[in-house]
Structure 1
Amino acid sequence: MSEGISQPDQPEPHPGEGKDLFSKFDSLIGQRQALLDSGLEDPFNLVMEKVLSPTRAICNGRETILLGTYNYMGMTFDPEVVAAGQKALADFGSGTTGSRVLNGTYQGHRECEDALREFYGMDHAMVFSTGYQANLGIISTIAGKGDYVVLDIDSHASIWDGCALGNAEIVPFKHNDMEAMEKRLRRIPEEAGKLVVLEGVYSMLGDIAPLKEMVAVAKKYGAMVLVDEAHSMGFIGENGRGVVETAGVIDDVDFIIGTFSKSVGTVGGFCVSNHPKFEIMRLVCRPYVFTASLPPSVVATAATSIRKLMHGSNKRAHLWENSRTLHAGLKELGFQLGTDTPESAIIAVIMPDLERGAAMWEALLKEGLYVNLARPPATPANMTLLRCSLCAEHSSEQVETILDMFERAGKATGIIG
């Protein structure tokens, strides 16, 4: 917690009263209240009153450019995607009211999994109700008590939670450090079950993993490999299959996890695999078995979007152009960035601390620009970040406007000179 933020007084419990189970959050409560008391708007409670397009919305009564939505390929307003959802809503109703293993598998769920198999060229595909559940379910089911999960220290919360749910031995290593990963693998008993979990793009800084080398090391020690491609699917790779495609290891990894809530433009998660025993997961994966399936309209939009992403090379090229332009422009203005060069559609702008980061966030919002404010403990090395997520639908003119907004807000808050 930053200096100068006072802790709320703790009242003495009366006889017969137990411990306040919320007391563990008092530090965060105090930090949040200090931000609000300073007059800043709550950066974690913004309401979008109307969404106009993948890149524009009405926030606080004014038109705002969206630069923090993960809508990388801009599919949320694609006419064919929207039409598919509307038709499924009319034909199948608003929801399934059941699990996939009971009444919750509709034709649309099968078609969505067919689209995923075709997109990745894999034998098996399994759709979950969220991307978080995909990691939670797959990791906890295949890595149990007595097994080992070797994972990057900067892994997403859903990966950590999947490890905890499965009760496997968790073995973290320094971010993107191949030597540290091999050192951990070398110490694990040879006969033990081993799973290495990596991410194609790490969501906080937008940096990519050296998958080619890391997958080779994992296989050297007999480990299975799971790669989370949530932030690269649709955008990175010649066919949009992610970093596994650019690294040439798509046929070497055992599981690819992804989400529909980013490039696909809706909600849901998935796992694809070539493992011959994979289909048993539908009966033993608790977050899949005991969750209602996605509504028909959602899987219809997802299937349509995935098939369109197969032919999205022009959009991918424009998104890369946007990323290079924004990264270079912010660097030239004097902002400290999370990566030396643009590696993905995420560009992280490092702030001095939470208070000044929140002030910069609000200054940008008043300029008419929305970005994500990311804070510890979700961020690496206790950094406060303004996380910019570019979209293929951002025009070149919008990117230049965004740079002008950053310059004015940065100077007004003293972040840049």
Structure 2
Amino acid sequence: MSEGILQPDQPPELTGDSPDLFSKFDDLIAMRQGLLDTGIEDPFNLVMEKVLSPTRAICNGRETILLGTYNYMGMTFDPDVIEAGKQALADFGAGTTGSRVLNGTYQGHRECEDALREFYAMDHAMVFSTGYQANLGIISTIAGKGDYVILDIDSHASIWDGCAMGNAEVVPFKHNDVEALEKRLKRIPAGAGKLVVLEGVYSMLGDVAPLKEMVRICKENGAMVLVDEAHSMGFIGEHGRGVCEDQGIIDDVDFIIGTFSKSVGTVGGFCVSNHPKFEIMRLVCRPYVFTASLPPSVVATAATSIRKLMHGSNKRAHLWENSRNLHAGLRELGFTLGTPEAQSAIIAVIMPDLEKGATMWEALLKEGLYVNLARPPATPANMTLLRCSLCAEHSEQEVATILTMFERAGKAVGII
């Protein structure tokens, strides 16, 4: 034992002057316990005992249709993707045990970044260990103390956390409101650094941003633009490059952030850019410099998947067909949806409250259907949502079956 350091056998008891640091979570603990006390299965702790395909898994001993996995293009079981991962595992081992700036850059990491540059037709690509880290790293590094980040009020948690880490001034504006964005930009002090952060598709309601108008306003006001395309990369746009491509402004944005954990079907994150100074980010971006790099098998699967997505027009067309059919069917059944029409692969079914939402979630699970239960504060306007994420591998018959399950469960619970 080091001299002068107290190391008691038992930790000291808390006193009145030492508050329990978990007390801040008491309301959430009570809410969760209240749900569990009703006999409902924990909707935030589901275990998939075996995954059978991009659209099926064994949950609680029962074959279940997956409608909440973000596996938009169904690449998780693609034979070429799986084979690439197996080969990399055999050739390079299980992990890198190092940061990208030390020993953590393998041939596969460069090949993955090459695939991203080709996919987006951009000069620079930088791969992170997660999509969360991509936003955290890029935003916190670009926008620091004295700079301003202007962002949509419904931005993802990783965007907000990137702002906090960088210590920039944060200026939120009303969701998808072009006029509100312009007003905020015009109030920023002259000469200050300005970064506007937008998303192509917002993950809770599945609604699409009016990026064309927003990017025009940003450029007129001297702001750099970062667009998170996590939920649109792979299937929106002629080549699957996202909402930026679809709205014709991909060459006008400064940075595009994305993730491998959705359409690509594995795990990791990235940023692509045409900025001539972008490569310096590899030396100054702390979440990149101080994190172990992705395992060789992961970047191999990602690179293979990305290259296949370049030629995924048929899968994209089928995914859009699935989305439109499910949206129209749910609306005809009488459910309240988050968007007036299908805008993405996400369809949000609005519930009256959390208790009803959890009951409906469990009823669907018993039917053999898994969806996401989304609750405040993660949801906009304190809504409780059943969030459906369609996959290009869902068959027409599976979509019809899903609608039948929603109808039975909705009537049993009293939602419709």
Q: TM-score range by the shorter chain?
A: over 0.9
Deviation digits for residues 264-288 of structure 1 (CA, Å, limit 9, x no counterpart): 0000000000000000000000000
Moved more, 183-192 or 93-102: 183-192
Deviation digits for residues 211-268 of structure 1 (CA, Å, limit 9, x no counterpart): 0000000001000000000000001000000000011000000000000000000000
Backbone CA RMSD of aligned residues: 0.7
Q: Please tell me the residue identity of whatever aligns with 2:365.
A: L
Q: Paired residue for 1:193? A: 193
Q: What is the SS of the residue equivalent to 1:237?
A: coil
Q: Paired residue for 1:149? A: 149
The 2-side partners of 1:16 and 1:221 are apart by: 53
Q: Paired residue for 2:289? A: 289
The 2-side partners of 1:241 and 1:258 are apart by: 10
Q: Please tell me the residue identity of whatever aligns with 1:248.
A: G
Note the C-alpha offset of 1:139: 0.1
The 2-side partners of 1:17 and 1:232 are apart by: 50
Deviation digits for residues 177-206 of structure 1 (CA, Å, limit 9, x no counterpart): 000000000000120000000000000000
Q: Please tell me the residue identity of whatever aligns with 1:336.
A: T
The 1-side partners of 2:97 and 2:170 are apart by: 35
Q: Tell me, yes or no, if structure 1 residue 131 matches structure 2 residue 128.
A: no
Q: Please tell me the residue identity of whatever aligns with 2:277.
A: K
The 2-side partners of 1:16 and 1:187 are apart by: 46
Deviation digits for residues 320-361 of structure 1 (CA, Å, limit 9, x no counterpart): 000000000000000000000000000000000000000000
The 2-side partners of 1:39 and 1:104 are apart by: 47
Deviation digits for residues 104-150 of structure 1 (CA, Å, limit 9, x no counterpart): 00000000000000000000000000000000000000000000000
Q: Paired residue for 1:332? A: 332
Normalised by the size of structure 1, how large is the TM-score? 0.96
Give the unaligned 5+ runs of structure 2. Answer: 1-12
Identity %: 87
1:191-230 aligned at under 5 Å gives the runs 191-230=191-230
Q: Please tell me the residue identity of whatever aligns with 1:47.
A: V
Q: Paired residue for 2:69? A: 69
The 2-side partners of 1:386 and 1:220 are apart by: 39
| Preserved contact between residue 200 and residue 229 of structure 2 (Cα < 8 Å) | yes
Q: Please tell me the residue identity of whatever aligns with 1:395.
A: S
The 2-side partners of 1:118 and 1:105 are apart by: 19
Q: What is the SS of the residue equivalent to 1:248?
A: coil
The 2-side partners of 1:18 and 1:73 are apart by: 51
Deviation digits for residues 298-340 of structure 1 (CA, Å, limit 9, x no counterpart): 0000000000000000000000000000000000000000000
List structure 1 segments (4+ residues) > 6 angstroms apart after TM superposition.
none
Q: Tell me, yes or no, if structure 1 residue 359 matches structure 2 residue 359.
A: yes
Q: Paired residue for 1:85? A: 85
Note the C-alpha offset of 1:14: 5.8
The 2-side partners of 1:212 and 1:249 are apart by: 6
| Preserved contact between residue 57 and residue 63 of structure 2 (Cα < 8 Å) | yes
Q: Paired residue for 1:5? A: none
Deviation digits for residues 58-82 of structure 1 (CA, Å, limit 9, x no counterpart): 0000000000000000000000000
Q: Paired residue for 1:349? A: 349
| Preserved contact between residue 350 and residue 384 of structure 2 (Cα < 8 Å) | yes
Normalised by the size of structure 2, how large is the TM-score? 0.97
Q: Paired residue for 1:22? A: 22
Q: Paired residue for 2:43? A: 43
Q: What is the SS of the residue equivalent to 1:65?
A: strand
